[in-house]
Structure 1
């Protein structure tokens, strides 16, 4: 049974759950088949409770523009689709990566590889929406990103900085969707720069005067509010209070990479992405639920081999160091790490030495938080003639797997503000990827 939770109407329950509960309670006694509603609700509450699985946080590394699976994690050297890529062995016996990923190859005993991701979206904007939310774009609804769902379902107490953070975001940031703008990712850029918008532009005395003036306006807005709402607060007031708490919080130090030991930071590579991955480990330690770090530049419609190799060099040091540090700090078992792009790139090389968009079998790395290490799921045709990979993994299935490992009921339904029931995920968990399978 699965709960129908409502953002504004928590008393609703799932009609399918009610019917299942009724059916399960049927006995030969006749009237005893009618399970009391209270019993159903209690069972639903128990079902929705965290399962005790270890994952409590999530790091998403987005390879913006779409990395080529053939030039990274699924090379087919010495074939007509190989494109001249050279390969190296990995810690998984019989599995090779493209040259340049030596550090990532060395940590693969802690990582699993999906070589058969499948999407129905081949446009960057639509595909990014799909990969971040688990849903295809819908003109009638904005779905919450996976990070927003995690923060909504696993609220974090006693934290004064945002629990959903996006470092180096591109033009399609993670959004709260129908959960509301308060679940949008807090955006920042190269962590070597100060966190934006957390310092007042006037002295403390002037700031206090401004806040006192603002409070008069807020009190006016608060008058006449509905009886069931807090008479003393508006949404704007709450947002302002959170912002001021953040501005004076010691937890802001988690964003700071300048005081890090030089050797530790250098291991991630002297790049904004490397610093972003380093900052992600600190933010997770501070209690942030979800951090996404974006590495753009993979959209190689021309000069694919060199373009991919440039990005691979940036990715390799940062990714491997992230996995090593999380493991060393005892955080890998409770932190899921996902790495991949919005789709892959074509087996066929075009007339200008590039690869075009390919959503029919691309690669993702998954690690930590209950994901198995050292496994490979799916495979693609080394000749590039078959469009469908073996053992396809749908985008929504990856989302359901992440929810499941976080103890979130992936099929839980919420009521959107317009009264439309919507499941957190329409996929099913991939059991082969989970450590207990």
Structure 2
């Protein structure tokens, strides 16, 4: 990936705002289990995966289509037969089958499912990862605390917390991060920096306060620190054994999930890995078979790897998209947008495991247009409640009220934690 100077400085700034605040020291970075500070990995299924072809199949029914189900390690739970590897590890997570939303448009749905709020023309809300990196700083981290792998049309943003908390975007971790090494020798680099220092001090004359408010010098220092950081090795997934790489799958997404594990192991607070291609208005069943070939090995390997390394207890994993797909199969053998009863996987980070929440009907009374349908799942779960649960488990005050740049008080989440997912202490 090629980085512009602006990208590099923004990334360094994003990773460095918290340098003066408490965070993991180097010894803590080696800590395992529940004593380690929490991190978040979001597996983003861009386009909206079908609940019926993933975690909530209804084989043999009018709405089920050709998708079959298989048993899992969790007694009584069956998922789509496209996910035999996930079936072996899903007991480490929880399944929510009754998420509900009022947003059936990609952009608006993505906004809600990444921030916990519906779009508001007066402000931009921060994503889960931005909140986590803002509230849980790591003063020893020399690379960005909030990272997005493989991109997508609507990346996670810092919102009213500031652009410095936008996810640092890397589109293919297997290519590494280019333009982080000086293009000249050390001696010449030092001369360049000395020259920059002279220019900076000259510019500061008579305008010191204004210059300090730009944080220019601090940003440059942090950019230089990132360029020489050993923590950049977290992106070097070729350092993993061939067996580990094979387990994740030889795909960009598989490599992204492996990089995500390495990043949280290094101390990165939040990582989002995107797998696009779920918008199956046509050829839904073949489309989901194709997607599953990437998602099944990578997600299963990620959960297993985190568990084996004693990192699952400190790493929340959320696998979700902007909505589900309609129970009704359209004339193109596809499924359309459906925000009224879709599924996600969530677990780790000290949450309970093996919990299945919600239920969808096998013969729902629906209209094809999700915006007109009144169908609702049993035990509906609101998105803000899911977000409040995740923030609470990360150690963030989920209902903390902050003042936005326009002077408007706003809570990180308007929901309440789902107590059935919270482990008793």
CA change 1:232–1:358 in 2 (3 A) is closer
Is residue 363 of structure 1 aligned with residue 343 of structure 2?
A: yes
CA change 1:94–1:418 in 2 (3 A) is same
Partner of 2:106: 124
- 1:201 is displaced (CA, Å) by 4.0
In the TM superposition, what whole-angstrom CA distance separates every residue of 1:37-60 from its partner, at most 9, and x where no partner exists? xxxxxxxxxxxxxxx997611000
Is residue 162 of structure 1 aligned with residue 144 of structure 2?
A: yes
Three-state SS of the structure 2 residue aligned to 1:316 is helix
Partner of 1:172: 154
Q: Contact (CA 8 Å) 1:410, 1:423: kept in 2 or not?
A: yes
- 1:211 is displaced (CA, Å) by 3.2
- The structure with the largest alpha-carbon Rg is 1
| Aligned alpha-carbon RMSD (Å) | 1.9
Q: Which runs of 5+ in 1 are unaligned?
A: 1-51
Q: Distance in 1 between matches of 2:207 and 2:338?
A: 52
Partner of 1:249: 229
Is residue 379 of structure 1 aligned with residue 359 of structure 2?
A: yes
Three-state SS of the structure 2 residue aligned to 1:291 is strand
After TM superposition, the structure 1 = structure 2 runs for residues 200-239 of structure 1, keeping only pairs within 5 Å, are 200-223=182-205, 234-239=214-219
Q: Distance in 2 between matches of 1:117 and 1:140?
A: 26
CA change 1:315–1:172 in 2 (3 A) is same
- 1:213 is displaced (CA, Å) by 3.7
CA change 1:349–1:415 in 2 (3 A) is same
- 1:159 is displaced (CA, Å) by 1.1
Three-state SS of the structure 1 residue aligned to 2:423 is coil
After TM superposition, the structure 1 = structure 2 runs for residues 20-39 of structure 1, keeping only pairs within 5 Å, are none
After TM superposition, the structure 1 = structure 2 runs for residues 254-273 of structure 1, keeping only pairs within 5 Å, are 254-273=234-253
Partner of 2:406: 418
CA change 1:218–1:341 in 2 (3 A) is same
Q: Distance in 2 between matches of 1:399 and 1:226?
A: 42
Q: Contact (CA 8 Å) 1:219, 1:232: kept in 2 or not?
A: no
Q: Contact (CA 8 Å) 1:222, 1:233: kept in 2 or not?
A: no
Partner of 1:146: 128
- 1:225 is displaced (CA, Å) by 5.5
Equivalent in 341, 347, 358 of residue 321 of structure 2: 341
Partner of 2:421: 433
Q: Distance in 1 between matches of 2:234 and 2:153?
A: 25
Q: Distance in 2 between matches of 1:112 and 1:53?
A: 22
- 1:222 is displaced (CA, Å) by 3.9
- 1:260 is displaced (CA, Å) by 1.2
CA change 1:115–1:223 in 2 (3 A) is farther
> Number of matched residues?
384
CA change 1:312–1:208 in 2 (3 A) is same
Provide TM-score, normalisation by structure 1: 0.84
Q: Distance in 1 between matches of 2:48 and 2:71?
A: 23
Partner of 1:300: 280
Partner of 1:331: 311
CA change 1:411–1:243 in 2 (3 A) is same
- 1:179 is displaced (CA, Å) by 1.1
Q: Contact (CA 8 Å) 1:116, 1:392: kept in 2 or not?
A: yes
In the TM superposition, what whole-angstrom CA distance separates every residue of 1:346-367 from its partner, at most 9, and x where no partner exists? 0011111110000111100011
Q: Which runs of 4+ in 1 moved over 6 A?
A: none
Q: Which runs of 5+ in 2 are unaligned?
A: 1-33, 367-374
Provide TM-score, normalisation by structure 2: 0.86
